[in-house]
């Protein structure tokens, strides 16, 4: 009999899953393609190469979490078989790989794929096939539209909610700010930007002194930074993603410019923003929802202890103390595992969607206090609230309490 991690090191969510795994699957289960008495096959596309590859620790953590579950009996006696393919953050490649996963590999559901344009590229196909597209690593409103796309759900906080929160922060902390905005020229950028401007309301016309856009394939952002600096902005909102995040911060510092910098939450992991360097990042404001495993004050937190023990064994190649994106993958996998556990022996695609859209008050293992996961048939944005935080030269430090 396999030796389990000590219960003292398990968060309540993990302990529940282990307890559930102790009971074998029933003999008369209801199954769709991808599920049997012994296994559940999930599909994922992820940018292991290309402009989004800095987020790969998320995928490694997902794989490590399912490996941990499988070593401890799986979910309701079934092992998780995750097939994860590289799409290079290229929508045409995402379409190709997703079709392979559905039509050749026969997955029960798609889970934890990364990106807004990539998610949009396959949502019509997956919804037409009635294959769940769950917990997409995107906060775009276009991917949380249950009326048009009932089989597609977000997995991280809404970009629009983040934009509103940042506007509230500026209005409270720097009401006379002269704001410059750099935004990605797609739905990722427009979701943040539109909500941010709407929250500023009539003050936006005076406060926002310049806006500049970029394409994810742009080799540098120096020209945009020169334009924004020239506007006289003393506050800079970086609605960036992937390699554009460290590029933009580096460009700001190279211009000997010291505005208050606000960084999109998707960019806070070491794997993405790390190349900018600690000195350049000091003082930058961002938001998040995960506990920081490197925080000395949390070293006796049961969930953090369980997480660190798990990381050392199941994702030893990751920067297990400081890369927050690993915690994102860990929690995404925990959310998916909870959905599958609640499916019991009814592992049809319809029931997987039903359980995913009826999550009530679930607290992810590494989620900060005061935040929770809630879904319904009309609300496909599971994570409630964000925590403002500031980089102190070594890590992100929370500012105040979580806000919505």
pLDDT for the residue 138: 92
CA 193 vs CA 199, 214, 229, 240: distances in Å: 10, 13, 19, 11
Per DSSP (E only), the strands in 15-155 are 30-31, 39-46, 79-86, 109-111, 133-136, 152-154
CB 345 within 8 A of CB 76: yes
Range of the domain at 237: 159-288
Supply the CATH number for residue 181's domain: 3.40.50.2300
- Domain end (from 260, 288, 316): 288
Does residue 390 belong to any structural domain of this protein? no
pLDDT for the residue 272: 83
CB 325 within 8 A of CB 271: yes
| 51 and 107 fall within a common domain | yes
Compute the distance between CA of residue 219 and CA of residue 221 in angstroms, rounded to an integer: 7
How many domains are contained in the chain?
A: 2
Does residue 391 belong to any structural domain of this protein? no
| 140 and 219 fall within a common domain | no
Per DSSP (E only), the strands in 60-184 are 79-86, 109-111, 133-136, 152-154, 179-184
pLDDT for the residue 14: 54
Compute the distance between CA of residue 401 and CA of residue 385 in angstroms, rounded to an integer: 10
| 304 and 266 fall within a common domain | no
pLDDT for the residue 319: 59
Q: Which two tokens stand for residue 365?
A: 């293992």
| 146 and 180 fall within a common domain | no
DSSP string of 177-245, one letter each residue: --EEEEEESSHHHHHHHHHHHHHHGGGHHHHEEEEEEE-TT-S--HHHHHHHHHTT-SEEEEE--TTHH
Range 138-141 contact pairs with CB under 8 angstroms and sequence separation of 24 or more? 138/114, 138/188, 139/191, 139/266, 139/381, 140/116, 140/187, 140/188, 140/191, 141/187, 141/191
Mean pLDDT by 10 residues, the chain (404 residues): 37 48 57 97 96 86 96 97 96 98 98 94 98 96 94 94 94 96 92 96 97 91 96 97 91 95 89 90 94 87 94 78 77 97 98 97 90 94 90 89 80
């Amino acid at each position: 009999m396999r030796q389990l991690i000590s219960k003292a090191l398990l968060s309540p969510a993990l302990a529940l899953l282990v307890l559930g795994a102790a009971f074998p699957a029933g003999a008369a289960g209801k199954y769709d393609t991808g599920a049997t008495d012994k296994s559940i096959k999930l599909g994922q596309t992820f940018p292991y190469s290309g402009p989004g590859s800095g987020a790969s620790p998320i995928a490694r953590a997902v794989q490590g979490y399912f490996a941990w579950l499988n070593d401890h009996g799986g979910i309701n006696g079934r092992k998780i078989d995750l097939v994860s393919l590289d799409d290079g953050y290229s929508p045409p490649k995402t379409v190709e790989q997703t079709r392979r996963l559905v039509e050749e590999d026969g997955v029960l559901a798609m889970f934890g794929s990364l990106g807004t344009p990539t998610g949009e590229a396959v949502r019509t196909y997956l919804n037409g096939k009635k294959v769940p597209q769950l917990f997409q690593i995107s906060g775009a409103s276009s991917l949380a539209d249950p009326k048009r796309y009932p089989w597609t759900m977000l997995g991280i906080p809404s970009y629009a909610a983040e934009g509103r929160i940042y506007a509230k922060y500026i209005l409270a902390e720097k009401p006379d700010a002269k704001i410059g905005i750099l935004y990605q020229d797609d739905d990722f950028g427009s979701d943040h930007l539109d909500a941010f401007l709407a929250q500023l309301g009539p003050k936006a016309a005076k406060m926002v002194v310049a806006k500049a856009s970029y394409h994810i394939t742009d080799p540098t952002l120096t020209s945009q930074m020169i334009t924004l600096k020239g506007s006289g902005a003393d506050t800079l909102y970086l609605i960036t993603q992937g390699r554009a995040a460290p590029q933009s911060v580096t460009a700001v510092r190279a211009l000997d410019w010291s505005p208050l910098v606000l960084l999109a939450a998707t960019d806070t992991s070491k794997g993405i923003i790390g190349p900018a360097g600690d000195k350049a990042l000091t003082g930058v404001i961002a938001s998040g929802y995960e506990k920081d495993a490197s925080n000395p004050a949390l070293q006796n937190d049961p969930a953090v202890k369980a997480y660190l023990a798990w990381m050392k064994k199941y994702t030893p190649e990751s920067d297990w103390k400081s890369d927050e994106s690993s915690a994102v993958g860990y929690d995404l996998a925990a959310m998916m595992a909870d959905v599958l556990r609640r499916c019991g022996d009814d592992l049809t695609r319809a029931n997987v969607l039903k359980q995913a859209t009826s999550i009530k008050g679930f607290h992810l293992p590494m989620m900060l206090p005061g935040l929770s996961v809630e879904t319904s048939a009309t609300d496909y944005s599971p994570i409630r609230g964000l925590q403002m935080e500031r980089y102190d030269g070594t890590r992100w430090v929370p500012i105040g309490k979580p806000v919505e």
